[in-house]
Structure 1
């Protein structure tokens, strides 16, 4: 049985006794004088309870068990060490050992330990900076840094300190260590998936983003990965798809001025669900070789995103636009009866010869408002993505440029799956619409 606890009123009453050094609800400390008095009285044949009561202690408050245990403890201590055994060896009864002056050798060892501690701290913080290189570290990287620091210096006692320096929890660190087998298994699986992703990423020689990779895996490899997994693996192994960064300083004017003779008949109604009805056209420049320039004119089906006709030239004469339309009409496919071609207000498209050619081919004309690129956004976007994928700098001649453009157009129309086309290529989506019509 455990000793009884003292009530607050009992603590207050006991503390008034001259033989009490310290008392709390759980314990009581007696003075050396009372212990010596107790032994002397006990030798005379008095019972413990009587000795306590003669010293003004209330035996009911102390309890029978507490008195018996104190009596047994003091008699044993006196028998083994005499009066010295009755003395309290604890400093002010706190249980702490008395501090002593350190020797010179001990002071040197303490200073050496502090220097080593500071050196490890400095190395650890430097390691975190090197791993991060200006970016925020993830938890796994921090845990690995802690693990290697502890292993290199053999200081398991520094886990708490290093975790605090890295801003992670100790429990998280130990969980990381305990899950090493699971991580290794996942690492093997990720490596296999990475190789499969790279096959899709490099397919047909053009780099791709997560959506394109997902569609290629599903359509060409019969493998279904979700986008989160693809992006995680791409980030983990540094598989980067080049893409243009928007210019935050570019101001796009909200132009509203239409052409004097050709209105903006399209009004950005790009998707009308009918192939070869709404055509978009534009001209862009291509830099190749040592600063040489070529020019690309293209006509794109706004509904299916398919490039229907294009022309590559080394100059910007009117023929580049005329030849693009002529190539379009020489194709075997038939244009929609309400076919309309939309362009900007460039001099090629305002030229009377161009207008006359469209009339002869029964194609209506529409023009963007002056300076408003959003009116022909799909065409601008196509040229932008194309330039992201093409590397024309190594090419030396216009013939090589034409060959590379032909290869890209074939890839774009027949092999580049697009998310907004029900994950089909432009050619597949065109056939899908024609069959369902």
Structure 2
């Protein structure tokens, strides 16, 4: 560690002085420095450079989990803890949004159903389990509200809606109509959401149940019960929204970005 420190600070301080302060021999340091670099050290430095490259390519929005995933795709076997340690060395931190707006209003008198899904986020076949949620997108002119429906089988967005308002017609119903156009399903499909009024009200409930769907809702105040939808929104905002000062309240522009980045089928 002392040798590494001296080497990294050669351009700041005289080598002889650093050796004296750190109580190491100059000859020993130069002998260490002249040794060939090991393959392990070369790989370590290469990974660090890849981390820096991925971080800035993502416009400083990726944290250690996403960068670890990208490294694994590139063929590097490395843990998230190690990536986090290297990021800390370089002072790299993902950009996070500080703005928050409530989109779930669970204070209503509509019927709330049980959590049938019970955090079982694996589906062996298409159209067996769909999950849905609503989030906001902060723009220069105000808020837009994005509703998505995800098939747990392949984690694809099969239905979505982007609107200025939060009415049932503009959110859950609009996304549902797109989903049923994009994917066929049989009776018994589990549709999971939070307890928000857009999912609990009679209009949406009656429409969904007419298809023979089994409804499921997260427990009150428990975001982990709908973790897949929550995770998608975090990824979407991290990659496309946070730090983007050019976002304007123009639906067509945001719809284009959403469709181009998150293809559904």
Superposition deviation, residue 242 in structure 1: 2.0
1: CA distance, partners of 2:192 / 2:238: 24
Quick check: which has more Rg, 1 or 2? Answer: 1
| Counterpart check, 1:346 vs 2:196 | yes
Q: Which has the higher helix share?
A: 1
Superposition deviation, residue 283 in structure 1: 0.5
1: CA distance, partners of 2:117 / 2:18: 70
Q: Secondary structure at the match of 2:134?
A: strand
- 29, 33, 45: which one pairs with 1:180? 33
2: CA distance, partners of 1:373 / 1:189: 37
Higher relative contact order (CA 8 A, sep 6+): 2
- Structure 2, unaligned stretches of length 5 or more? 98-109
2: CA distance, partners of 1:146 / 1:200: 28
2: CA distance, partners of 1:146 / 1:180: 12
| Counterpart check, 1:280 vs 2:119 | no
CA-to-aligned-CA distance 1:142-196 (integer Å, 9 cap, x gap): 5544785334xxxx48734x105xxxxx26x765532334359966994698369
Q: Which has the higher strand share?
A: 2
Q: Could you tell me which residue of structure 1 aligns to residue 258 of structure 2?
A: 405
- Structure 1 residues 177, 275: closer, same or farther in 2, change over 3 A? farther
2: CA distance, partners of 1:196 / 1:244: 18
Q: Secondary structure at the match of 2:262?
A: helix
- Structure 1 residues 241, 357: closer, same or farther in 2, change over 3 A? farther
Superposition deviation, residue 401 in structure 1: 1.6
- Asked if the contact 2:111–2:201 (Cα under 8 Å) also holds between the matched residues in 1, the reply is no
Q: Secondary structure at the match of 1:390?
A: helix
- 234, 242, 262: which one pairs with 2:113? 262
2: CA distance, partners of 1:243 / 1:286: 16
- Normalising to structure 2: TM-score of the pair? 0.72
- Normalising to structure 1: TM-score of the pair? 0.47
CA-to-aligned-CA distance 1:72-111 (integer Å, 9 cap, x gap): xxxxxxxxxxxxxxxxxxxxxxxxxxxxxxxxxxxxxxxx
- 176, 195, 198: which one pairs with 2:53? 198
The residue correspondences of 1:77-226 to structure 2 (distance < 5 A) are 140-145=4-9, 149-151=13-15, 156=16, 159-160=19-20, 162-164=21-23, 170=24, 176-181=29-34, 182-183=36-37, 190=45, 194=49, 198=53, 202=57, 207=62, 209-217=66-74, 224-226=75-77
Q: Secondary structure at the match of 1:227?
A: coil
Q: Secondary structure at the match of 1:298?
A: strand
Q: Could you tell me which residue of structure 2 aligns to residue 242 of structure 1?
A: 94
